[in-house]
């Protein structure tokens, strides 16, 4: 039997995620949204492209959680997008209500699923999802670090005029302005960027990465990024479904790792068929530890507002 991935939220991120999964024939897809006709229309459009992609997986749009029953993976993108001059944190209470409703429904229909949370503020929404579903923390993962790392890789590739394929990086901490990119672990074919770029240039690229989502929101005027977030989700889905055990920066539950407890934060993890199979700890410098602690405090502040 083919694997089944359900995507909760038929907006731009959800629909783009559905398209990529179907196009690469990774799994059968169910696209759920509360708006009548939206998921059905988008799913039909994707299905009609399958002959052109030589893909034989199925894709279904629905307004019923019953159609998502027994999913292997559920991707939660439902919620309100950012508008200009809004931070991810401004969405806190509105999206918390959405995520709580979604999580409760998913826990009943797909009790064995692995959940990937995309809705912002993502780290807090991942923690809310974990609390609501009472799933093992290994099966609730937040998407953010992969996207932040991809943005930094893109900016570096333009600066260095080389392929982004040759660039690797790690971004720790919350998926927001307090994220912690690590220049000494950012390499071009194994060469640290600290060896080939000036600190001023690196700092400038890191600052652009931190405000990468806001930059897109300001350009779009309405809505937020979706192509890169969807691509990041699909990398996670693929690593889980195929048990690839790839290492990605994701929001995972920390229980002492990096000196933090009872909080979801972006750290390097190994993703396989069990979800987060382990958290990879790297030794941080004093400055990096301080930045990570500051990022954690920012996430905890939002968690406290939701009384989690």
Domain identity same for 215 and 245: yes
Residues 111 and 174 in one domain: no
Question: Mean pLDDT, to the nearest integer, of 168-173?
Answer: 96
Same domain, 138 and 159: no
The reply to whether 130 and 25 lie within a common domain is yes
135 and 53 share one domain: yes
Residues 59 and 92 in one domain: yes
Q: Helix, strand, or coil here: 251?
A: strand
Dihedral sign of CA atoms 92, 101, 236, 137 in order: positive
Return the CATH number at 256.
Answer: 3.90.110.10
pTM: 0.96
157 lies in the same domain as 137: no
Same domain membership, residue 224 and residue 257:
yes
Angstrom CA distances, 222 to 84, 92, 172, 175, 292, stand at 7, 18, 28, 21, 31
Query: How high is the pLDDT of residue 91?
Result: 83
Our count of domains for the chain comes to: 2
Same-domain check for residues 178 and 135: no
Same domain, 156 and 138: no
Same domain, 193 and 77: no
**So what's the pLDDT on residue 89?**
72
Answer yes or no: 175 catalytic. Answer: yes
Residue 230 has pLDDT above 70, yes or no: yes
Beta pairing class for 191-192 and 246-255: unpaired
d(CA 274, CA 138): 7
Active-site entry in 88, 153, 175, 300: 175
Residues 271, 151 share a domain:
yes
pLDDT in tens, 24-70: 999 999 999 999 999 999 999 999 999 999 999 999 999 999 999 99
Print burial letters for 265-285: b (CB count within 10 Å at least 16), e (below 16): bbbbbbbbeebbebbeeeebe
62: domain range?
Answer: 4-142
Residues 103-159 pLDDT 10s:
999 999 999 999 999 999 999 999 999 999 999 999 999 999 999 999 999 999 999
How many whole angstroms separate alpha carbon 70 and alpha carbon 66? 9
């Amino acid at each position: 039997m083919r694997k089944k991935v359900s995507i909760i939220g038929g907006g731009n991120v959800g629909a783009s995620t559905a398209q990529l999964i179907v196009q690469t024939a990774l799994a059968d897809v169910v696209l759920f949204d509360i708006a009548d006709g939206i998921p059905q229309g988008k799913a039909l459009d994707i299905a009609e492209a399958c002959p052109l992609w030589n893909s034989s997986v199925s894709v279904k749009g629905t307004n019923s959680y019953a159609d998502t029953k027994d999913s292997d993976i559920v991707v939660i993108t439902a919620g309100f997008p950012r508008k200009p001059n809004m931070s991810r944190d401004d969405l806190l209470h509105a999206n918390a209500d959405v995520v709580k409703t979604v999580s409760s429904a998913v826990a009943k229909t797909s009790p064995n699923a692995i959940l990937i949370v995309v809705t912002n503020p993502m780290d807090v929404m991942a923690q809310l999802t974990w609390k609501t579903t009472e799933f093992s923390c290994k099966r609730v993962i937040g998407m953010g670090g992969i996207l932040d790392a991809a943005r930094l890789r893109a900016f570096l590739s333009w600066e260095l005029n080389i392929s982004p394929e040759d660039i690797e990086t790690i971004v720790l901490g919350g998926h927001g302005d307090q994220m912690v990119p690590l220049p000494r672990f950012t390499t071009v074919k194994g060469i640290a960027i600290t060896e080939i770029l000036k600190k001023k240039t690196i700092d400038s690229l890191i600052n652009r990465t931190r405000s990468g989502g806001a930059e897109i929101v300001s350009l779009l005027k309405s809505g937020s990024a979706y192509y890169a977030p969807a691509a990041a989700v699909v990398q996670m889905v693929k690593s889980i479904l195929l048990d690839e055990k790839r290492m990605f920066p994701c929001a995972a539950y920390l229980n002492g790792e990096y000196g933090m407890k009872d909080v979801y934060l972006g750290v390097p993890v190994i993703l396989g068929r069990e979800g987060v199979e382990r958290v990879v700890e790297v030794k941080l410098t004093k400055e990096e530890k301080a930045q990570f602690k500051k990022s954690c405090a920012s996430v905890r502040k939002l968690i406290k507002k939701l009384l989690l």
